[in-house]
Every structure is written in C-alpha cells, then in structure tokens.
Amino acid sequence: MILASAQTKPKRDDIIGNLLDHYRLIKLAADEGADLIVFPEMSITGYEQDRADSLAFTEDDRRLDKLRILAVDYKIIIIVGAPIKIDADLFIGTFILRPDHSVSIYTKQFLHPGEEEYFQSSFNYNPLIELGNELVSPAICADIDHPLHAENAKKAGGTIYIASIFFSPNGIQNAHDALSGYAKKHAMNVLMSNFSGESWGSPAGGRSAFWDQRGNLVAEMNDSDTGLLIVEKRYGSWTAKVVNEK
C-alpha cells in the first residue's frame, strides 16, 4: 500500500491554476504507485472565508470532471478540499473520488472560531474509505483539535486517519503533537497534508507528515517546499520519501 500527502501553495482567485497543480501532483503520485493522495484543507480554492460562497463547489460540480477521470485512469483515490454548497448550506468539505467512478463528500465537523459566520458544521457526511484491508477516516483542520473526532474514527473502525489542514508555522507543532498522540492512543496510522506558502493572506506551516500506529513520526516534509510525502507499507512496516516538484 502506498499513500501520498500533497503539500501545495494555493493561488488566490485561480481555481484553474490550482486544479492544474492538483493534476500534476496526482500524476506524480500515480507514477510512484500511490493508491491514495490527499490534499490540504480547501486545496482547490485556498482557504477562504468571506469569499467562500462565491467560490463554492456543488456536489456534482463539472469542475471535478478531470479529477474523476484521473481517479479512474490512475486507479487512485483522490481527496481534495473545497467549500461545498449542499442545498442552501455552505460547508468546508472534501471530495473523495474513487477509481470505481464514485464520489463522496466529507464535511468538517468542528469549526475553528469565526468559521461559523460563513460555514455550517455537520456530522451527516462522514464516510469511511475502503483501501485494501484498511479503513480510512478523513478529518479537516480544526477537527483534529477535538480528541472526540479521532476517538469516533477509531470506534467506526478506522485504521488510517487522514487530516487535510491549514495550520500556521506557530500552530503546526501542536498539530504534530495531537496527531502523534491520536496515532499512539488509537493504534491508527496517521497521514497529514498542509499548505506551504500562504493562503488567505496568512502563512502556512507545511511539514506534512506521517505517523505509524505507535505514534512514531515516520517522515515529514519541510515548511516551504511543494511536492509529495510518499509512504509505503510493506511487510507490516512503513517507509517514506519526499518527492519535491521539479
């Protein structure tokens, strides 16, 4: 099994450019044999609050068509983030695109203070992702600040916990500490994807990372590069490498 965490620098007001970055990194992950790739919080649009409604994706948004095709052609599960409009409500969400042509949605359950002015939270969109003998449980950013979230993932049968985040340089170590703790407490492998560069005019902390089920940090990226953290499970143990964009 091979997993990929994408570390990206979103471009504000450039969804097309951001999608092109996604396509390139998905191909790079596929070339590495990845079975799944995850991107940061609201990766397609960058993290936005007051403008999220105008940037929002719908459940069957045609702008996802190329991602659907790549999931099928490369036989890879793709987890990408965007503001998502469902009926009249706006959520911070992820689209989960699978090689069998299916698409499901996960919505952020625990909002960061201030986000409730623009977004709804919901526990109604909370799929587990089957990947071989593993069950993947997704999370978005402030979800990981609430131990109940990881606890519920474990109770639901999750064996791999995957977090799409936007954490600052000041906050990223707290994210590392929390995710390492969840991995150890719940015996789950944990993969995290964060931005580098800036989003919403604020710096991001990078350091996308992976922890094994004992809470050991297997590998992390630095705080500035874009590219992929590739982790591979072979004979019960994990190895990792960083693949930077050229």
| pTM passes above 0.85 | yes
pLDDT at site 200: 82
pLDDT at site 193: 98
pLDDT at site 219: 98
Q: Domain of 66: which CATH number?
A: 3.60.110.10
Number of structural domains, the chain? 1
Residue with tokens 């203070």: 113
The DSSP line for 135-167 is EEEEEEGGGGG-HHHHHHHHHTT-SEEEEEE--
Residues in CB range of 64: below 8 A, 6 or more apart:
57, 95, 97, 103
Q: How far, in Å, CA of 200 to CA of 239, rounded? A: 34
Q: How far, in Å, CA of 43 to CA of 45, rounded? A: 6
The pLDDT averaged over each successive group of 10 residues in the chain (246 residues) is: 97 95 98 98 96 95 98 98 96 98 98 96 96 97 98 98 97 98 98 92 95 97 96 93 87
pLDDT at site 246: 62
Domain that holds residue 161: 2-244
Cα 116–Cα 121–Cα 127 angle in degrees, nearest 5: 155
Q: How far, in Å, CA of 17 to CA of 243, rounded? A: 21
